[in-house]
Amino acid sequence: MQQLKAKKLEMRTPQATKTAVLVIGGAEDKVHGREILRTFFGRAGAGDGHITIIPSASREPSIIGGRYIRIFEEMGASKVEVLDIREREQCEASHIQASLEACTGVFLTGGDQLRLCGVLSDTPAMDILRQRVRSGQITLAGTSAGAAVMGHHMIAGGGSGETPNRSLVDMATGLGFIPEIIVDQHFHNRNRMVRLLSALSSHPDRMGIGIDEDTCAMFERDGWLQVMGKGSVTILDPTELTHTNEPHVGATEPLTLHNLRLHILSHGDRFHLYQRTVLPSVYRISS
């Protein structure tokens, strides 16, 4: 009976699509197994791919860009380049646009998400990148600040360790690759649950995604996300939310959220962004 149940669930397991969007919680393993980075590398075409690194969020873009170049070259990449974009005007340059038109994978590094959005948003380069991601032509990955920008609404900063309230979170507009979600990174490592709850109370039409360090939520084009890495992905689902006092209280007053659904997912677990269904890894049959 259990075996039959497992087989039925296995039939629901989505087949991996070639391209994906990898949302990484930061501090991903760059030295040992490199599972998350190797997955991005494989989805971006492996040795035949053309990987473009955008370190615009970093205060030291050339240093951080160089580090990722070495990592992907060690994996066997034949073409890796850094687009060291520091000013919005650079996004109009022909060589920047040509790289984004030709590449098979783009990696957004960590740093400051406001800096990254300030450089990229509403530019010709961003138009190319968004269109190619949405049409499934390239694999996109973002770590730390590069993960924070994935939604339309973005957590730009804030506090932790208090009762949820509006003053705990600073919101801005992200890059909108996956507009339905609000992402927070370094999640349990920096005690950011209340920050994400506070953000979600202002935008209950979105899905809250909290991603731990060295952990990735990989979004397939069919709507499934899969968790990989050594931490967990926390999903705050407000689909059945019945009440929040957010519109009626002051910035520092405690927030209420009624009937909010919570999922904690670990390596191998899957969640469907639109159906709101979970597929635990325990029910997946190894081939």
Burial of 272 (0-12, 13-18, 19+ CB in 10 A): middle
123-132 long-range contacts, CB within 8 A, separation 24+: 123/88, 123/91, 123/92, 124/91, 124/92, 124/97, 125/85, 125/91, 125/92, 125/96, 125/97, 125/100, 126/91, 126/175, 128/97, 128/100, 128/101, 129/100, 130/175, 130/176, 130/177, 132/100, 132/101
pLDDT at 282: 78
Instruction: Determine the 3-state secondary structure of 280 from DSSP.
Output: coil
Annotation marks residue 162 as catalytic: yes
Buried b (16+ CB within 10 A) or exposed e, 40-50: bbebbbeeebb
Which member of 56, 58, 99, 144 is catalytic?
A: 144
Output the pLDDT for position 87: 97
Q: What is the pLDDT of residue 161?
A: 81
**Token pair 């159906």 is at which residue?**
275
Annotated catalytic residue: which of 10, 162, 180, 253? 162
**pLDDT, tens only, 44-72:** 999 999 999 999 999 999 999 999 999 99
| Strand runs labelled E in 138-197 | 139-143, 153-158, 169-173, 181-185
Respond yes or no: is residue 186 known to be catalytic: yes
Question: pLDDT tier at 144 (50, 70, 90 boundaries)?
Answer: very high
Residue range 112-132, pLDDT digits in tens: 999 999 999 999 999 999 999
The yes-or-no answer on residue 144 being catalytic is yes
pLDDT tens digits, residue range 148-200? Answer: 999 999 999 999 889 999 999 999 999 999 999 999 999 999 999 999 999 99
Instruction: Compute the distance between CA of residue 277 and CA of residue 184 in angstroms, rounded to an integer.
Output: 21
Place of tokens 């070259």: 73
Buried b (16+ CB within 10 A) or exposed e, 185-209: bbbbebebbbbbbbbbbbbbebbbb
Task: Give the side-chain half-sphere CA count within 13 A for 152.
Answer: 7
Three-state secondary-structure class, residue 196: helix
What is the residue extent of each domain of the chain?
20-271
* pLDDT exceeds 60 at position 15: no
Q: For residue 48, give both structure tokens.
A: 């035949």
State whether residue 133 is helix, strand or coil. Answer: helix
Among 3.20.20.450, 3.40.50.880, 3.40.47.10, 3.30.565.10, name the CATH number for the domain at 20-271: 3.40.50.880
* Percent of the chain at pLDDT exceeding 90: 90
Give the alpha-carbon dihedral of 147, 158, 195, 273, to 10 degrees: -20
The three-class DSSP label of residue 171 is strand
Point out the catalytic residue in the list 28, 153, 186, 220. Answer: 186
